[in-house]
Structure 1
Amino acid sequence: MSWQIITGLAGGVGLFLLGMELMTDGLKLSAGKSLQRILRSSTKTPLRGVLSGALITSLVQSSSAVTVATIGFVNAGLLKLKHAIRVAYGSNLGTTMTGWLVAVVGFHVNLKAFALPAIGIGMLMTLLIQNNRYAAIGKVIAGFGLFFLGIDLMKSGFEGLEGAISLEAIEEGGLLSLFIFIAVGFVMTLMMQSSSAAIAITLTAAAGGVITIASAACMVIGANVGTTSTAVIAAIGATPNARRMAAGHVIFNVITGGAALLLLPLLLFGINWFQEYSGMAGGPATFLALFHTTFNLLGVLLLWPFTSRLVKFLKRQFVAAEEDEAQPKYLDSTLIGTPQLAHEALVKELQRIQAIAIRMAEDAINTEASLSPRLKVDLEVLHKLSDAVGLFCSKLRSQGLPEEIADALPLALASMRYFIDVAEMAEEIDQLQSKEVTGVFQELEEALADMRRQAIAILEDVKQSASSEESLQRETDAIVVLERNYETIKAQLLRAGATGKLTARHMVSLIELMKSIERQASHCVKGQATLQLFAQQAVDEAKSEDDVERDDVEGDQDEVTDLNQGDSEEVSLIEPEASEKNMGNLKNSESP
């Protein structure tokens, strides 16, 4: 093997990769956002999703680029996972276009006569034309020239290697040899990060007589599986949806490669028969291009009926923390038949909702910088939990409930509504604080900070205190003080706006911000009070059941039983009255 052949092969691979990169970059630049629009709008039906993936990959000449772009769309929530999986199916079909270019053009056209003018024209367009889109088209033309010039150099190099390298020992190794050539194709793709380059090398090697058709077919299978490495790298640190997409891409390519290996003798025989029957000529390169297209199409047909199941499987395997938090932990359909247990489960689930809402409120008040992404995720979690609570209450009402629990269910929904309001106001506060709300004079700055501290103290008290009349009264009194402070600060802000110390926009933003903080703390206490009333129903119901059971068992102690039952009813009447009184104070304390 001469040094000239080695350098020719290395240079051919380098030119091919450079041409691929120029074509990919140029096509993405010249297309602008149209590729994104195609991906987002042309995936509404399964067939359109596959065809759009194949079309874009054929244009861009890089399945990895399309897959990474698709992962980005899934990551951003712009594309559903089921649609993205079908785009991945299509991208594997589209990447077979490289093999057809090599087979049809690379071995039937005088490449130098075509490639060199293309490089010259393309680079002149890139350098002389100021319009970015046309300059990008020039880059595409130059890339095609380098692409075919690289193929020409590789073809010449492998023709020089014919007879110089003997792979008979490996090729006669039976099943082991097949896996060796699959591994070679996989490693080539992994090293060059381009299955197209690996397939082009394989096709030119087979056309040069260096390897047999069967060995080259195994290398094509390996290259097809190796292209998933780019998607796996792109999904590292991404959202669960992006990791699902990358895993789906890997599963598709591995299953497709496995099916191609199992059916290899049949596929080789069938393609050979098809070429003879149709009169299709072209030699090993055309044969392998047809093989590559056939087994990728076979993979699409195999997995097409199971796409929905694949998506469900991927969703179970990759679960985000927020998705897990959005699942109810205490609401179980099996509890519907036991109202007392269902009531207790509702109380616990509402306490979870309360904790998340308070966390959002504290984050929004404490942090001046925008928290929008995190608050948006938490708010979505609460909306899902509220839907689950509403559905559970609806199922519970369809049962024959005791009167006490049936009457208490509206309290559960009211409490949940208060906590959802707290969460939504956290998002409002976050948006207001992202505006110009700083830069006020020191006296007002201290007043604003003091009001924030008071609101946080109320939220902390609600979060940590037990559900008792004393804590509720303490929180109610704190709300009254907070509202008075708000009125004082509001007057200060109005005076500052009237005297020119603050602009009108700045003044209005601060008034809205402080009012939202005051209302948020007030709603949190109201939600706590309502939840306390709802939870008390479980205690009262339990006491009532204990009294009934005691009456059945100790029938000879009627007077004692009646006395105990009377005491229980007296407590039951006193406590709701106190709670309702506190709720009334809260309602009266909130200013319009």
Structure 2
Amino acid sequence: MGISNLIALLSGVALFLFGMTLMGDGLKKVAGNKLELVLYKLSGSPLKGVLLGTGVTAIIQSSSATSVMVVGFVNSGMMQVKQAIGIVMGAILGTSVTGWIICLSSLEGGAGWVSLLSTSTLTGIVAVAGIILRMFCKHQTKRHVGDILLGFAVLMFGMQAMSSSVAPLQESETFLGLLTTFSNPILGILVGLVFTCVLQSASAAVGILQALAATGVITFSVAYPLVMGIAVGAAMPVLLSSLGANVNGKRTAFVYLLIDVLGAVIWGVLFYGANALLHFSFLDMTMSAVSIAFLNTLFRFATVLILTPFIGMLERQICRLFRDTEPAGPEKEDFARLEARFIEHPAVAIEQCRQALCNMALEAKANLEDAYYLIGNYQEKQFHFIAQREDIIDKYEDKLGSYLIKLTGKELSEQQNKDVTKFLHAIGDVERIGDHAMNIAECAKEIAEKNIVFSEEATRELNTMFAAVQEITYNAITAFTTGDLELAYRIEPLEELIDSLCDEMKLHHVDRLQRGICQLTQGFVFNDLLTNYERVADHCSNLAVAMIELESDSFDTHEYLISLKKVRSHSFDQYYEDYRKKFSLPEV
């Protein structure tokens, strides 16, 4: 085997890996980016986890990708380690499907119409169909189907290139002698392990083994330890993905290695122990691509079958190896949701952003209510608590904004684009509501330090105003977090009423100053409070408008508000009148 054969082998491996990735990505996109959410939502029991892990891995053609995704789920707190173990087991079994796809490359052509069943003919047909769909179809789903077909064709070409490059090895005495040493179980497992760690793909390692089997030089005694080593080496990409993960993320990654090591130990000891007594005659049987695929599937299936009942015990052992650190606060758990691993899986990433943004909005709402309570009930400890929560809200904005910007660089569906746009607009408004809550807390501090006391009339008006602000904040955040458009349409009438209340309250305050009921020192704080309340209502209005406009496939806040006030629909007037009665100011 010369240097040209080695280059051809590496080229075949490169084509194989690229084709496998292209086919898997196409299958995920045709599925509508829902595979990740299916894993997350439907993996309630160990058996469900195993079945789902097997199915998803069979589709995306990578146990590492499935397991890395699950490490992200656990690291972000979306999934428990026990759930993850079942999915990892399924991923270990599901990756064997690639070996059966590779078996198609061993189809031989015959005479006449039978030649259509040859690998080269089938691959050519699939490639032509794929490129037609990819280049000439405008519908996104059809183009993704084209990617699947092209990925399959490239994978087959890669397999053929690998098979052709290793064909001369069947006449190499040196190589045949080297293969004989691999029949030593320990050496064979180590070679398979190292080889897979280098390739970072168990499917590619099995593919090369199948290519070698096509030359007729691989026996069962050589293939069996290599298959076990390949299974153990497949844990390397998953272990690397856990770098920087929390304790539970590391546990999930390590369980992949533990399952494969236990499988190799259990079936290695049992097989070679039985062979020492029974002297199996099939050890010298020549392996084909099909028999390699069968051996690989059987080994993985047997491992999953025997370990599935012991998922609870595996979890306990993993937890003993990786002990818990101090529990994180709620906001850190939310930040952990924004996993870099999920960027490649937009459906999951957007769902995580939605949950984090909802919690951010609830924090801002809580700060607003706590800040108002400080007026007349000032406590330094509570003021610092509000300031700390405001810092957390600012961190939410930074983390969410950066994460959503990264998501915009990925291929998103129409609905996903809408969601990302809505979230990007919303985080600024929610953060500003938090800022105004902090401003109100500072006003409360000034009132306490200067011993400012408002008149009974002013206090009643401020209470009425805050009740209106509290309602618009609740409605806006509830509408946003639940997607309630009907509730969103009620925001703008209330915002307009709050603007009117502010103007009316300022006039009343000037009248009280003239009558000597209020002092000038009270006026500055009074106006500051009104300004902040009015700004909170404005940002609530922005949240509602973002929802309404994105549902109508446009985003022009200014145009929407102008048209809304010109038309003055019946519902707008009705909502405005209802709120005017509910939040009417006391008569002077």
**TM, length-normalised to structure 1:** 0.57
* Equivalent residue number for residue 363 of structure 1: 388
Q: RMSD of the alignment, in Å?
A: 4.5
Give 1:257 deviation, angstroms: 2.0
| Separation in 2, partners of 1:95, 1:483 | 72
| Separation in 1, partners of 2:205, 2:178 | 19
The 3 A distance-change label for structure 1 pair 362 and 502 is closer
Superposed, 1:180-259 pairs within 5 Å as 180-259=187-266
The 3 A distance-change label for structure 1 pair 50 and 273 is farther
User: Would the aligned equivalents of 1:271 and 1:291 in 2 still touch at CA under 8 Å?
Assistant: no
* Equivalent residue number for residue 40 of structure 2: 40
The 3 A distance-change label for structure 1 pair 362 and 21 is same
| Separation in 1, partners of 2:529, 2:138 | 46
Give 1:231 deviation, angstroms: 1.2
Give 1:11 deviation, angstroms: 2.2
| Separation in 2, partners of 1:271, 1:509 | 84
The 3 A distance-change label for structure 1 pair 452 and 289 is farther
Match of 1:138 among 139, 146, 154: 146
* Equivalent residue number for residue 16 of structure 1: 16
Give 1:110 deviation, angstroms: 2.1
The 3 A distance-change label for structure 1 pair 7 and 251 is same
Letter in 2 for 1:29: K
Superposed, 1:108-507 pairs within 5 Å as 108=108, 110-167=118-175, 169-171=177-179, 173=181, 177-265=184-272, 283-323=287-327, 363-365=388-390, 369-370=394-395, 434-436=431-433, 448-449=441-442, 451=444, 498-499=505-506, 506-507=532-533
User: Would the aligned equivalents of 1:206 and 1:213 in 2 still touch at CA under 8 Å?
Assistant: no
| Separation in 2, partners of 1:482, 1:310 | 64
* Equivalent residue number for residue 59 of structure 1: 59
| Separation in 1, partners of 2:275, 2:144 | 40
Letter in 2 for 1:185: G
The 3 A distance-change label for structure 1 pair 484 and 196 is farther
| Separation in 1, partners of 2:203, 2:279 | 21
| Separation in 1, partners of 2:245, 2:196 | 23
* Equivalent residue number for residue 50 of structure 1: 50
Letter in 2 for 1:94: G
The 3 A distance-change label for structure 1 pair 274 and 212 is closer
Letter in 2 for 1:507: Y
Give 1:141 deviation, angstroms: 0.5
| Separation in 2, partners of 1:228, 1:256 | 13
Give 1:258 deviation, angstroms: 2.1
* Equivalent residue number for residue 352 of structure 1: none
User: Would the aligned equivalents of 1:244 and 1:315 in 2 still touch at CA under 8 Å?
Assistant: yes
The alignment partner of 1:436 has SS state of helix
Q: Deviations over 1:168-200 (max 9, x none)?
A: 55455588x433332332223222221100110
Q: Deviations over 1:223-261 (max 9, x none)?
A: 211111121122221232222211111211111122233
Give 1:202 deviation, angstroms: 1.0
Q: Could you tell which deviates more after superposition, 73-82 or 143-152? A: 73-82
Number of aligned pairs? 397
Give 1:288 deviation, angstroms: 2.1
Letter in 1 for 2:291: F
| Separation in 1, partners of 2:268, 2:206 | 17
Give 1:35 deviation, angstroms: 0.9
The 3 A distance-change label for structure 1 pair 488 and 124 is same
Letter in 2 for 1:181: G
Give 1:18 deviation, angstroms: 1.4
The 3 A distance-change label for structure 1 pair 487 and 69 is same
The 3 A distance-change label for structure 1 pair 3 and 365 is closer
The alignment partner of 1:33 has SS state of coil
Letter in 2 for 1:45: S
The 3 A distance-change label for structure 1 pair 4 and 90 is same
Letter in 2 for 1:291: L
| Separation in 1, partners of 2:445, 2:429 | 14
The alignment partner of 1:369 has SS state of helix
The 3 A distance-change label for structure 1 pair 287 and 507 is same
Give 1:504 deviation, angstroms: 7.7
The 3 A distance-change label for structure 1 pair 99 and 294 is same
* Equivalent residue number for residue 92 of structure 1: 92
| Separation in 1, partners of 2:391, 2:445 | 8
The 3 A distance-change label for structure 1 pair 85 and 111 is same
* Equivalent residue number for residue 579 of structure 2: none
Identity of aligned residues (%): 25
Give 1:507 deviation, angstroms: 0.9
* Equivalent residue number for residue 467 of structure 1: none
Q: Deviations over 1:485-523 (max 9, x none)?
A: 997995999867844988989516769xxxxxxxxxxxx
Higher Rg: 1
Q: Deviations over 1:10-61 (max 9, x none)?
A: 2221211111111111111111233124313432333222111111111211
| Separation in 2, partners of 1:197, 1:3 | 21
The 3 A distance-change label for structure 1 pair 5 and 483 is farther
Give 1:96 deviation, angstroms: 1.1
| Separation in 2, partners of 1:214, 1:222 | 13
Give 1:167 deviation, angstroms: 3.8
* Equivalent residue number for residue 76 of structure 1: 76
User: Would the aligned equivalents of 2:67 and 2:91 in 1 still touch at CA under 8 Å?
Assistant: yes
| Separation in 2, partners of 1:271, 1:26 | 47
| Separation in 1, partners of 2:52, 2:203 | 19
User: Would the aligned equivalents of 1:240 and 1:318 in 2 still touch at CA under 8 Å?
Assistant: yes
The alignment partner of 1:222 has SS state of helix
Q: Which runs of 5+ in 1 are unaligned?
A: 327-355, 375-429, 455-477, 512-592
Give 1:450 deviation, angstroms: 6.1
User: Would the aligned equivalents of 2:212 and 2:218 in 1 still touch at CA under 8 Å?
Assistant: yes
The 3 A distance-change label for structure 1 pair 142 and 433 is closer
Letter in 2 for 1:205: L
Give 1:435 deviation, angstroms: 3.7
Q: Deviations over 1:264-301 (max 9, x none)?
A: 4478899988999xxxx994322222221222122113
Q: Deviations over 1:541-566 (max 9, x none)?
A: xxxxxxxxxxxxxxxxxxxxxxxxxx
| Separation in 1, partners of 2:71, 2:187 | 31
User: Would the aligned equivalents of 2:180 and 2:222 in 1 still touch at CA under 8 Å?
Assistant: no
The 3 A distance-change label for structure 1 pair 359 and 325 is farther
* Equivalent residue number for residue 412 of structure 1: none
The alignment partner of 1:6 has SS state of helix
**TM, length-normalised to structure 2:** 0.57
Give 1:218 deviation, angstroms: 1.9
User: Would the aligned equivalents of 2:51 and 2:90 in 1 still touch at CA under 8 Å?
Assistant: yes
Letter in 2 for 1:24: G
